[in-house]
Chain A
Amino acid sequence: MGELVVTALRFGFLILLWIMIISIVSALRRDLQIGKRSRTGSPTAREVRKNPDLAEAAPAPRAAPRRLVVTEGPLAGHSLELAASPILLGRAQEATLVLEDDYASGRHARLFPQGSRWFIEDLGSTNGTYLAENQLTRALPVDPGVPIRIGKTVIELRP
């Protein structure tokens, strides 16, 4: 094997390594663009200026929920003032709202504020958490008046 060929292959390998990196990065570029296009939420001021239709699509500001009310289950009628801190729901003693419900887990779900809205997230409970009859698979925003079912307990946020 000639000296020249070996040297060419040596540098060729270094170039190949970097070609691989550049291909990986360019494969990832599509990820970023896709992320931009499918973004949800309210349009930015710049987008509104370009396209005035978007401004109307933006939801009207909702009344922020102030209270959490238990509507069904053993604790029906109880209510809780919402502050800025997250709320832990479950049977465990350290939960913010201790549910006396056989179908609830110790740490069943958590309600937390983000921005101007409250979100509910299931904490890996045995029987699941339902927001308006749909089982939660990820954190979802909760609007006032929408029932959240945990076992036999149903709670609601009220303005």
Chain B
Amino acid sequence: MSNIQTAPRSRRNTELLLLLLALVVGIGANMLVGLDQDRAFDSDFFTQGVTLVVLVLVVHVVLRLRAKYADPVILPIVTALNGIGLAMIHRLDIATGDSAATRQLFWTGVAIAVVVAVIWLLRDHRVLRRFTYLSLIASAALLIFPLLPFIGMEVNGARIWVNLGFATFQPGEIAKITLAIFFAGYLSTNRDLILLAGRKIGPLQLPRWQDMGPMLAAWLVSIGVLVFQRDLGSSILFFGLFMAMIYVATSRVSWVIIGLLMIAVGGFVAFQLFPHVTARINSWIKAFDPEVYNAIGGSHQIVQGLFGLASGALTGTGLGQGRPDLVTFANSDMIIAALGEELGLIGLSAIVMLYVLLISRGIRAALGSRDAFGKLLATGLSFTLALQCFVVIGGVTRLIPLTGLTTPFLAAGGSSLLANWLIVALLLLISDAARRPTMTGPANGSRSPGDRPGRRSKSDERNTGSTEVIQP
């Protein structure tokens, strides 16, 4: 792995400037959406604008205090995306009389509070490595919760919700983070074992049979999510995450090929056996077939989205001037279609560009990171964001079947917003560790190697030594 260093400069002032620009984008969009209905400066607009400014500046100040060397562009990009999303949800509220924007604003507040807490309390991402196996257990619990009676809830055929009484939550969104932590911890420790060479076919170095276990387990979990929760999107996300991380850890193409073959087998079997998968694929391939278009749960939604994108053309109808509310779930699943209609190709490609920049900064943090765990975690988290964008935007534009993933930061939905902000908090911490100047001379000068083993008793070691848990 390469070892690229940046000059130790904090660059928080650059961040502040870009942040102000991002707030102008977000709040400007929110102003434009009401302009045509003469509702430009209603009370919603002011509450949303002021709350967003305050929340984001709090994160900025916390970064100045706690993670001085964090990447300067991650926060502005996410702020712009969150602001645009809030504006579009507000715009759809005006059309439908809903109050989704207020809920989204509340969840933005919750998410940012969690981000502040994580940056303030965690400080160093390497602490997470101790929780490798704990996060495996947490992931399993989070995936099983929605299947339990009473607290589990089924919405639109997918059983991925948990009813907390006062609110509903999708635990699967958090599971993608805990899974990334587990994979990063597991792969950074066991990389050498997985690297042991097996048979060779042509230029391909295949892994040994006994090392296929983790891959098989990840595959079975993804299939389980598909069968029991009927959530095609999360299923793809979990397996894709594992495949990307094992490829980055071992740099063996054979893992990717094996993974793709397993997806092909799983996908084909699912297409044959499960009606909800068959319906998804049908409304993708035969979208314009009148029979599929008129069927319940057919391609009506995706075709309406395509019509919206078409009427947006190059420059869009202008915020607040199109009819994106004609599409079902316009503010969550189909928010990309709504933005494409009102901002046009020029605006939509700007949004895609923001995602590209965000993900490239995540990968950059991984490249600069000095420990294998941080490298893998940053790669995994950035890849999660990338895969979500690909699956959602690909689905809306009918490149691939439409699945139930959410557009990060844009779509209405508290769990997704919270999870993606949490990813951002971790990326900020890893980039801070990566860009912080390296200490020269003895590290931790006060502790000499001799007294350290003695200072820690054996019982202490048992409690903190996560590496001890691993059995061959």
Partner of A130, one of B35, B80, B449: B449
**Residues of B contacting A40 with CB < 8 Å?**
5
**Residues of B contacting A31 with CB < 8 Å?**
6, 364
Q: Is A14 in contact with B315, judged by CB distance below 8 angstroms?
A: yes
- B18 in the interface (beta carbon within 8 A): yes
Q: Is B28 in contact with A20, judged by CB distance below 8 angstroms?
A: no
CA distance A9 to B9 in the complex (A): 37
**Residues of A contacting B467 with CB < 8 Å?**
90, 105-108, 123-126
Q: Which stretch of B187-195, B223-231, B268-276 is in the interface? A: B187-195
- B156 in the interface (beta carbon within 8 A): no
Q: Is A93 in contact with B18, judged by CB distance below 8 angstroms?
A: no
**Residues of A contacting B9 with CB < 8 Å?**
34
Q: Answer whether A9 and B188 are a contact pair too, CB < 8 Å, given A21-B353, A34-B7, A133-B448.
A: no
Q: Which stretch of A51-59, A75-83, A134-142 is in the interface? A: A134-142
- B91 in the interface (beta carbon within 8 A): no
Give A23 Cβ to nearest chain B Cβ, in Å: 6
- A121 in the interface (beta carbon within 8 A): yes
Give B40 Cβ to nearest chain A Cβ, in Å: 8
Q: Is B443 in contact with A127, judged by CB distance below 8 angstroms?
A: no
Q: Answer whether A27 and B470 are a contact pair too, CB < 8 Å, given A103-B453, A135-B449.
A: no
Name the interface size band of chain A: 35 or more
- A92 in the interface (beta carbon within 8 A): yes
Give B46 Cβ to nearest chain A Cβ, in Å: 18
Q: Is A10 in contact with B192, judged by CB distance below 8 angstroms?
A: no
Q: Is B21 in contact with A19, judged by CB distance below 8 angstroms?
A: yes
Q: Is A10 in contact with B371, judged by CB distance below 8 angstroms?
A: no
Which residue of chain A has the shortest Cβ distance to B4 in the bound complex?
A: A35
| Contact code string B289-317 (vs A, CB < 8 Å = 1, else 0) | 00000000000000000000000000110
CA distance A138 to B351 in the complex (A): 36
Q: Is A21 in contact with B472, judged by CB distance below 8 angstroms?
A: no
- A60 in the interface (beta carbon within 8 A): no
Q: Is B32 in contact with A10, judged by CB distance below 8 angstroms?
A: yes
**Residues of B contacting A37 with CB < 8 Å?**
7
CA distance A121 to B192 in the complex (A): 12
- B442 in the interface (beta carbon within 8 A): yes
Q: Answer whether A127 and B73 are a contact pair too, CB < 8 Å, given A17-B350, A94-B472.
A: no
CA distance A110 to B193 in the complex (A): 12
Q: Answer whether A134 and B347 are a contact pair too, CB < 8 Å, given A1-B38, A25-B357.
A: no
- A116 in the interface (beta carbon within 8 A): no
Q: Is B28 in contact with A92, judged by CB distance below 8 angstroms?
A: no
Best-surrounded residue of A9, A103, A126, A133 (most CB of chain B within 10 A): A126
Give A96 Cβ to nearest chain B Cβ, in Å: 8
**Residues of A contacting B357 with CB < 8 Å?**
21, 24-25, 28
Q: Is A127 in contact with B452, judged by CB distance below 8 angstroms?
A: yes
Q: Answer whether A27 and B452 are a contact pair too, CB < 8 Å, given A102-B458, A110-B192, A126-B465.
A: no
Give A112 Cβ to nearest chain B Cβ, in Å: 8
**Residues of A contacting B76 with CB < 8 Å?**
20, 24
Partner of B73, one of A1, A24, A39: A24
CA distance A92 to B469 in the complex (A): 10
Give A137 Cβ to nearest chain B Cβ, in Å: 6
**Residues of B contacting A70 with CB < 8 Å?**
none
- A88 in the interface (beta carbon within 8 A): yes
- B77 in the interface (beta carbon within 8 A): yes
Pairs of residues from A and B, 10 with the lowest C-beta to C-beta distance, nearest first = A138-B370, A10-B318, A17-B350, A126-B465, A105-B467, A34-B7, A103-B453, A130-B449, A124-B129, A94-B472
Task: List residues of B whose CB falls within 8 A of some A CB.
Answer: 4-7, 9, 11, 14, 17-18, 21-22, 24-25, 28-29, 32, 35-36, 38, 40, 72-73, 76-77, 80, 126, 129-130, 185, 188-190, 192-193, 195, 315-316, 318-319, 321, 343-344, 346-347, 350-351, 353-354, 357, 364, 370-373, 438-439, 442-444, 447-449, 452-453, 456, 458, 461, 464-472
